[in-house]
Amino acid sequence: MAEAIAADFGHRSHDETLLADGMTVLAAIDHLLRHLRGWMKPRRVGSGWRLWPARAQLRPMPLGVVGVIAPNYPVNLALIPLATAIAAGNHVFLKPSEHTPRTTQFLHGLLAEVFPASRVAVADGGAELAGAFSALPFDHLVFTGSTAVGRKVMAAAAPNLTPLTLELGGKSPLVLCEDYPIERAAARLTTGKWFNAGQTCIAPDYVLVIGRARRDALVQALRAQATARYGDMRDGAQDYSRIVNDAQFARLQGYLDEARARGCEVLALADAHDPAQRLFAPALVLDPPEDLAVMREEIFGPILPVLCVDSLDAAIAFVNARDRPLALYPFSHDRAEVEKILRSTLAGGVTVNDTLLHFAAENLPFGGVGASGMGAYHGRSGFDALSKQLPVLWQARRSASDLLHPPYPRIRRMIDLLLR
């Protein structure tokens, strides 16, 4: 698996693949196996006194065929929804990313060893195939990718009224409050931002720092972290992943070129930057104008805008002036400040005083809100989303409802009681 992914990326850290695409999938499967027997059982719910002595239950039922369109986080975001759909009793039709063909071949082989083709099938192709795939009459469709493509998927699925789970990303902010230690913030931010060279849908997309002096201190701390972890990168940077293809490299380079042309301060955090091997060094853009592409588009790469704000209220206003993000990262040891951020904003998910880790908490649903997506999966939430919670009412042999028929005047007192 790691060799296939590394070949698709040009280079990807073997250990990052084990963590991002190995550990996460195994943890998800372990969680499903541990809890599935309990989740499958019909769950008794109250039927209400008006229907007594009837009994009510919710019975999880498979939906049928679930489609999964995965992005170039090639194994994690293919196999976690696939495993969840299988756990819920469904068949799965998987469309992996066209940008990772070797990993797609790995998935073909892996899944063929485990499942008959009638239970799990894999569709291999590009954007045209993805459009046709989205238009199939699935019983549910899970898509992970950009907001722009998510809109197209939703439009293609609409004629069939296909239910959707959309995980769309967006611009996930990190809010660094005045009390949080700079060095620790830089270390945790570096882990979340430059893991997989920033090609993570919930990577911090920009940082709001309260106070200019703290912003400058954070910049220096980030530079130190990059040097400590990756060196100058001219030795090959074995622990630093490459950008997945030339088009994505050019897109990211365009963000920096535009920022420089507009007079922004752009700081490269390593000496190496090599288009030939798609090595894109970590870079900071300081206080970019809001109309730059790097501030309008999801970055999905190792560029990090760092912005100075005057107060926590200003940071909250900045976040709320934009689409609701897939992830939000408040950094503060002051519980009141964190609660203020949580009450005043809305995101798909939150990790407080760290990054990325809410994705790995199997009991937490993972999903977006607004432009960052709809629906959620992981754990019980995923099982429920990919099941039909069939409501069943069991009537008793004798019931007062047998009396609810004309002529009504004879049961007026009973009707009055039901209307209480």
Angstrom distance (rounded) from CA 90 to CA 184: 44
Name beta bridge partners: 306: 207, 286
Angle at 24 (CA atoms; ends 377, 72), nearest 5 degrees: 80
Q: Report which DSSP code applies to 366.
A: B
Token pair in block for residue 26: 């195994």
Confidence (pLDDT) at 223: 95
More confident residue, 174 or 274: 174
Q: Does residue 413 lie within any of the structural domains?
A: no
Mean pLDDT of the 67-82 span: 94
Which amino acid, one-letter code, is at 190?
T
In the block, tokens 């997945």 appear at: 244
Query: Taking Cα atoms as reference points, which of 307, 302, 351 lies closest to residue 325?
Result: 351
Burial of 213 (0-12, 13-18, 19+ CB in 10 A): exposed
Residues with a catalytic annotation lie at 167, 201
Q: Does residue 294 lie within any of the structural domains?
A: yes
Residues 313 and 221 occupy one common structural domain: yes
Q: Report which DSSP code applies to 64.
A: S
Q: pLDDT band at residue 359, thresholds of 50, 70 and 90?
A: very high
Q: Report which DSSP code applies to 97.
A: -
pLDDT of residue 14 exceeding 70, the answer is yes
CATH number at residue 119: 3.40.605.10
Instruction: Give the number of domains in the chain.
Output: 2
pLDDT of residue 420 exceeding 90, the answer is no
Confidence (pLDDT) at 232: 79
Angstrom distance (rounded) from CA 140 to CA 404: 40
Mean pLDDT of the 90-109 span: 95
Confidence (pLDDT) at 127: 81
- The sheet with strand 120-122 has its strands ordered as 120-122, 91-95, 65-69, 140-144, 164-167, 373-374
Residues 223 and 119 occupy one common structural domain: no
Residues 185 and 259 occupy one common structural domain: yes
Confidence (pLDDT) at 236: 65
Q: Does residue 177 lie within any of the structural domains?
A: yes
Give the Å distances, CA to CA, from 355 to 36, 70, 83, 193, 274.
29, 22, 25, 8, 28
Q: Does residue 131 lie within any of the structural domains?
A: yes
Query: Taking Cα atoms as reference points, which of 150, 180, 189, 126 lies closest to residue 369?
Result: 150
Percentage helix, strand, coil, to 5, in the chain? Answer: 45, 20, 35
Q: pLDDT band at residue 266, thresholds of 50, 70 and 90?
A: very high
Residues 377 and 357 occupy one common structural domain: no
Residues 272 and 346 occupy one common structural domain: yes
Q: pLDDT band at residue 128, thresholds of 50, 70 and 90?
A: confident
Confidence (pLDDT) at 313: 98
For the stretch 285-297, pLDDT in tens is: 999 999 999 999 9
Q: Does residue 398 lie within any of the structural domains?
A: no
Confidence (pLDDT) at 237: 76
Q: Which residues of 188-204 are buried (b: 16+ CB within 10 A; e: fewer)?
A: bbbebbbbbbbbbbbbb
Residues 271 and 320 occupy one common structural domain: yes
Mean pLDDT of the 42-56 span: 94
Confidence (pLDDT) at 181: 97
Confidence (pLDDT) at 271: 82
Angstrom distance (rounded) from CA 316 to CA 296: 17
pLDDT of residue 72 exceeding 90, the answer is no
CB 167 within 8 A of CB 373: yes
- The backbone region for 355, taken as left when phi is positive above 0, alpha when psi lies in -120 to 50, beta otherwise, is beta
Say whether 298 sits in a helix, a strand or coil: coil
Residues 102 and 178 occupy one common structural domain: no
Confidence (pLDDT) at 400: 86
What's the whole-number average pLDDT of the chain? 95
Residues 266 and 353 occupy one common structural domain: yes
Residues 157 and 259 occupy one common structural domain: no
Angstrom distance (rounded) from CA 174 to CA 127: 32
Name beta bridge partners: 303: 283
Structural domain including 231 reads 173-367
Residues 162 and 196 occupy one common structural domain: no
pLDDT of residue 392 exceeding 80, the answer is yes
Give the Å distances, CA to CA, from 63 to 85, 88, 163, 326, 375.
9, 8, 10, 27, 16
Tell me the residue ranges of DSSP E strands in 296-410.
Answer: 303-309, 327-331, 349-350, 373-374, 387-394
pLDDT of residue 317 exceeding 90, the answer is yes
Cis before residue 302, ω within 30 degrees of 0? Answer: no
Q: Does residue 420 lie within any of the structural domains?
A: no
Residues 209 and 98 occupy one common structural domain: no
CATH number at residue 216: 3.40.309.10
pTM: 0.93
Residues 361 and 375 occupy one common structural domain: no
Q: Does residue 414 lie within any of the structural domains?
A: no
Q: pLDDT band at residue 233, thresholds of 50, 70 and 90?
A: confident
In the block, tokens 């050019």 appear at: 250
Angstrom distance (rounded) from CA 296 to CA 294: 6
Confidence (pLDDT) at 336: 98
